[in-house]
Structure 1
Amino acid sequence: MAELKTLHTSAEQLITEHLDIWTTAIEQKSSSGRGSSKKFSLHGIKKLRELILELAVRGKLVPQNPNDEPAAKLLERIAAEKAQLIKDKKIKKQKPLPEITDEEKPFELPKGWESSNLNDLGEFQKGYAFKSKDYLESGFMITKIQTLTDNHIQNAVYIDPKSAEEFKQYLIFEGDIVMTTVGSWFSAPKSAVGRSFLINKQFNNSLLNQNAVRIRPYTGLNPMYLYLCINSSTFKSYLVKVAQGTANQASITQASIKSFEILLPPEKEQHRIVAKVDELMSLCDALEAQTENSITAHQTLVEVLLEALLKAPEQGATPEQTAEQFQQNWQRLSEHFDTLFTTTASIDTLKQTILQLAVMGKLVPQNPNDEPAAKLLERIAAEKAQLIKDKKIKKQPALPPISEEEKPFELPSGWEWVRFGSIFIDLKYGTSQKSDYGIDGQAVLRIPNVVKGFVCIEDLKYSKLTNKEKEDLKLQSGDLLFIRSNGSLGIVGNCTIVDRDLEDFAYAGYLIRTRLPQRFVLPKFIALVMKTTHIRDQIEKPIRTTSGVKNINSTELGQLSFSMPSLEEQHRIVTKVDELMALCDLLKARLNDAQTTQLHLADAVVENAIN
């Protein structure tokens, strides 16, 4: 047949011909915070696994043998076994399902294969709703779907072995297939409805709890072959059609599971298919490990080379020697730029390095004619003293001096180490009033309005505030809004610059507003400072946790230490950082476009191979 394409003779060839697609189709995962686990998924290898399963259950993975006993004979024996079980009253007679029509068959079956459904191929049994009051710490084990989802015995529960006899119909044995009938939608695979498990030795001879169904294949059926069928993308597509409920709580009926069409090969071919799938899945495992190792090694190389730019000068080195060493490290990096910065992670690391170089005074040339930062700090202190005298702001507690241990690197001439509290002129928490008064109250910015790094005037909430609160919580262009609690969205300490006067707006209690003397300090410079690893480490160190919610207070915010250049250099740094970040974003956009193409290619290869 033309549709079979003789792919079963060259499954390995299909893999090797498109090896670059399987290993380079990598999907970036959105992740927040630092140090999160894998920030990518190997989409190409995932699609290859799907392809192997689809070829297997469509008869395209291994060659057919004309000497095999046809599947029709196997179905006759299964029907006879089922009839005997009904006669012996071990199972109930069931209403026959409608025959599968030609219209329901998407493609022609290989010779010797038959179309059937799960109802005719296995004995079904729902789990039992055991009562938690009967649970014991030892005895006869109950297998819950949570345990299966974890794929190992954890927090197991038991019942009295004496009462286990009355529940013997719920026993599961090695070789049974168990499927969850309740769970999340299919985008959450670990807890998804319809997830199946081939029971192994550790769950053998246990009792099946509720929200799951047991399928016990009849004699002559390879349990692993049926397991492959209900893990194929065809079955997942079927689940989408028949599952009911919401994204968080979906369900599938036993009747729907029984109606799923299975393409059944001869018994001997089932064994050949299972063996070939095992072989090819092992190959996928090797490809996956090799690809992940390559990605990890690449990222390590990027980090080592970028770290060299941040390295402190050797002891006794002159400024000229330090500058020469930096230039050599930069030259080594720039010569291999095109091969180094080819992943999202490497570009993000480059961005972080740019910020760190900026606050170390290594990003732009120093100008000896700039007024030293010490003079700048004197003027800020004088302005704050005058505001206190005029009773426009309150006197702040004295800040502790910055110790040598708090200074992670040497500063260029003219720079100073400062605490954040010494440079802002005002700090104020947001309102704790409820924000549910429709549009009759004052518009209040919340974490969702600032979490993207800019003020987003959408999905606003409103509070009833006094005139004094309205005046106190006004926002001016250049104000910084800090997230002081992570909640469900924010990252503690992240800050957003208010880019325009917002006199008709206030802000919520999970935000802190700081106001800078903008004649002496650029808000954009402070915003980039707050993104550096030096600041992030300080922010995360004192974080307090209440009921799993991380917080930082105004005292901790004010005590953050950082390096301060002259006003002129602040301008030069901000301009250069903006320029380099734009280049990084352009590089990342091009990379994303290339990755999207690779993802589409992987999808297309799979689609063409099975259709």
Structure 2
Amino acid sequence: MTDVNQLITDHLSIWTAATEKKSSAGRGNGGSVSLHGIKKLRELILELAVRGKLVPQDDTDLPADGLLDQLHFQQTQMYAKSLIKKPKPVAKIAASELPFELPRGWAWCRVSQLGHDWGQKVPDSQFTYIDVGSINKELGLVSEPTVLEASKAPSRARKLVRNGTVIYSTVRPYLLNIAVITETFEPEPIASTAFAIVHPFDGVSASYLYRYFRSPAFISYVEGCQTGIAYPAINDKQFFSGLVPLPPTEEQHRIVAKVDELMALCDALERQAEDSLKAHQTLVETCLATLTNSQSPEELTQNWTRIEAHFDTLFTTEESVEALRDCVWSLAVRGMMGSCAAASSTDGSNHTNDAVPSTAIRKIRKPLPLLSEEDVPFGIPDGWVWLRVCELFQVSSGTSFPAKEEMDSGEYAYIKVADMNLPENQSEIRTSSRFIDPDIKQKKKLIPANSIVFPKRGGAIATNKKRFVRSEIFADLNIMALTVPADISIDYVMIWLKGIDLARLNTGTSVPQINHQDIDPLPFPLPPRPEQDFIVAKVRALEELCDFLKQRLSAQNRLSTNLADALATKFH
């Protein structure tokens, strides 16, 4: 018998250290870490439970073979009283179907042998409707049912349920929308046809069934027979044909109690780990704030030195490293890294100076008001100047082509937002899924070389993707481009743009959108060209440090995850 309490405490560091990054779009996704080790521990607890390795067997318990005889008798009696439909024949269980060996006193059976349903009906009066959205899958309860009039009943509202019924969503079963109905609902409860219904016979614990349906063993069975890609599902026949390792009734209750005890311990570990991550995040934010609040390069150097001494403590998650990277971008465009940075700052006026090339100032059709001190987000060093984006850069949107003109290869790449996700395009546009051979008129819509492109419409705005364009390309209508003049460093412009959260520029309503009026007025801090190059070199070195830290953390996380996986597998 596996001592799971000791298994948890002896390997506590492994369970709590194994984390994974959740998939999510956009910047600033704090709390995006998944506690993989604790998740594996929960799976291990369920796996040990349904294999009979969690609690000891008791020879005085009625063996499962005898229990199955009792269940068959109950089924026969209920059919004789017309309480249930005629049971369907149960397919014999072949040895090749058995996924693992069972301890003494247990028996393999099919789901259909353990319970029954209550039939179906079309609602004819007010009823309590239970659909997938009513399930609190963490607690395994129905928490938000809806009371509906019969006239407003959805076509899926058909399956009758009662207190003690187990409901299992057969649509997208990987979401584990499973629950035990633990109360008597009034008016009459009716569930969606998205659920398979099992009301256990006497001697079968609904709580044990609920935990088995969430176990890796049953999940593996479902994954093996489900069909569909976008909305995978299994049918009732497949569900009720699934195998169940059946313990004696008394042992079922002991298993449920032990699982609940151990899951409570996992909950405590999870809270402790999450609190630790939140405290660490607060510490990182506080320390990085001392950098961004520095009033001079000299003060920045002092604060950096203090933080550098605690790198191993501070930057232990990918999120903290990305926060450091954001901080670097912010400091760079504030003039805190340049060779000419001065402790004194200019006001927000819009004057030019000799260090700014006159060719950089563009003529604009609709002059905007001069930048005032209230318009700029921070002070900049002497020798720098604030200018609006439209005064420096050509801002352009993409174009569209008839589908018949799009080709698999051609003279010019025609990029769409999805092309920014291609492995070759992670920093600059190198390839595309579509190409165009344009005529002379269409060439006027080319995005020039030395540009930066980013999404301007739809949910892709929140991904904050920005890519260099080194040669002329076409882009579709969902993309906007910033073209940088030759006498300004495009790498410096990218540093500034990386610090801009595109989602904050969104002025769309139902469909997020960025327009020229959102980009054109933005204030841009322009240093002299030599200082731009100096800043780019400094930022590049610090970004390489961030990349190194992330690679090291990624390797550590993989090791921790592999250790947790291996430990869980070892005790199956």
Paired residue for 1:220?
203
The ranges of structure 1 where at least 4 consecutive aligned residues each deviate by more than 6 angstroms after the TM superposition are none
Q: SS at 2:374's partner residue?
A: helix
Q: 1:30 to 1:81 in 2, by over 3 A?
A: closer
TM-score (normalised: structure 1): 0.84
Distance 2:184 2:283 in 1: 42
Counterpart among 552, 560, 571 of residue 598 in structure 1: 560
Paired residue for 1:335?
309
Amino acid at match of 2:396: K
Tell me the CA shift for residue 159 of structure 1. Answer: 3.4
Paired residue for 1:498?
469
Tell me the CA shift for residue 149 of structure 1. Answer: 6.5
Maintained 8 Å contact 2:65/2:107: yes
Q: 1:524 to 1:593 in 2, by over 3 A?
A: same
Maintained 8 Å contact 1:420/1:560: yes
Q: SS at 1:90's partner residue?
A: coil
Maintained 8 Å contact 1:435/1:461: no
Paired residue for 1:402?
371
Asked if residue 550 in structure 1 is aligned to residue 512 in structure 2, the reply is yes
Paired residue for 2:492?
525
Q: 1:515 to 1:209 in 2, by over 3 A?
A: closer
Paired residue for 1:483?
455
Greater Cα shift, 436-445 or 103-112: 436-445
TM-score (normalised: structure 2): 0.89
Maintained 8 Å contact 2:118/2:160: no
Post-superposition CA distance 1:399-443 (Å, at most 9, x none): 22222223333222211222111112x333221333443429864
In structure 2, list runs of 5 or more residues that go unmatched: 343-350
Q: 1:107 to 1:515 in 2, by over 3 A?
A: closer
Paired residue for 2:380?
411
Tell me the CA shift for residue 592 of structure 1. Answer: 0.8
Tell me the CA shift for residue 541 of structure 1. Answer: 4.4
Distance 1:169 1:415 in 2: 71
Q: SS at 2:75's partner residue?
A: helix
In structure 1, list runs of 5 or more residues that go unmatched: 1-5, 314-321, 386-394
Amino acid at match of 2:238: S
Distance 2:463 2:565 in 1: 39
Amino acid at match of 1:478: N
Distance 1:263 1:407 in 2: 68
Counting only pairs closer than 5 Å after superposition, residues 404-483 of structure 1 correspond to structure 2 as 404-424=373-393, 426-439=394-407, 443-450=413-420, 452-462=426-436, 465-470=438-443, 472-483=444-455
Tell me the CA shift for residue 578 of structure 1. Answer: 1.2
Q: 1:374 to 1:492 in 2, by over 3 A?
A: farther
Maintained 8 Å contact 2:459/2:512: no
Tell me the CA shift for residue 234 of structure 1. Answer: 0.6
Asked if residue 248 in structure 1 is aligned to residue 241 in structure 2, the reply is no
Q: SS at 1:215's partner residue?
A: strand
Name the count of aligned residue pairs: 551
Amino acid at match of 2:131: K
Distance 1:423 1:283 in 2: 59
Distance 1:126 1:488 in 2: 44
Amino acid at match of 2:226: A
Asked if residue 26 in structure 1 is aligned to residue 19 in structure 2, the reply is yes
Counterpart among 220, 223, 234 of residue 217 in structure 2: 234
Asked if residue 156 in structure 1 is aligned to residue 146 in structure 2, the reply is yes
Amino acid at match of 1:339: T
Tell me the CA shift for residue 248 of structure 1. Answer: 1.5
Distance 1:168 1:493 in 2: 42
Q: SS at 1:268's partner residue?
A: helix
Paired residue for 2:84?
91
Distance 1:449 1:381 in 2: 31
Paired residue for 1:349?
323
Maintained 8 Å contact 1:68/1:266: yes
Maintained 8 Å contact 2:396/2:482: yes
Maintained 8 Å contact 2:19/2:36: yes
Paired residue for 2:547?
585
Distance 2:89 2:103 in 1: 25
Greater Cα shift, 334-343 or 29-38: 29-38
Counterpart among 177, 184, 192 of residue 172 in structure 2: 184
Amino acid at match of 1:208: A
% identical aligned pairs = 34
Maintained 8 Å contact 1:430/1:508: yes
Distance 1:82 1:292 in 2: 47
Greater Cα shift, 248-257 or 28-37: 28-37
Q: 1:330 to 1:411 in 2, by over 3 A?
A: same
Give the alignment's Cα RMSD to 1 decimal. Answer: 2.8
Counting only pairs closer than 5 Å after superposition, residues 90-239 of structure 1 correspond to structure 2 as 90-124=83-117, 139-148=126-135, 154=144, 156-160=146-150, 170-181=159-170, 183-184=171-172, 186=174, 189=175, 195-201=177-183, 205-239=188-222
Distance 1:202 1:466 in 2: 72
Counterpart among 52, 55, 62 of residue 69 in structure 1: 62
Tell me the CA shift for residue 307 of structure 1. Answer: 0.7
Tell me the CA shift for residue 203 of structure 1. Answer: 5.2
Tell me the CA shift for residue 309 of structure 1. Answer: 0.7
Distance 1:174 1:402 in 2: 68
Distance 2:356 2:513 in 1: 29
Tell me the CA shift for residue 495 of structure 1. Answer: 3.4
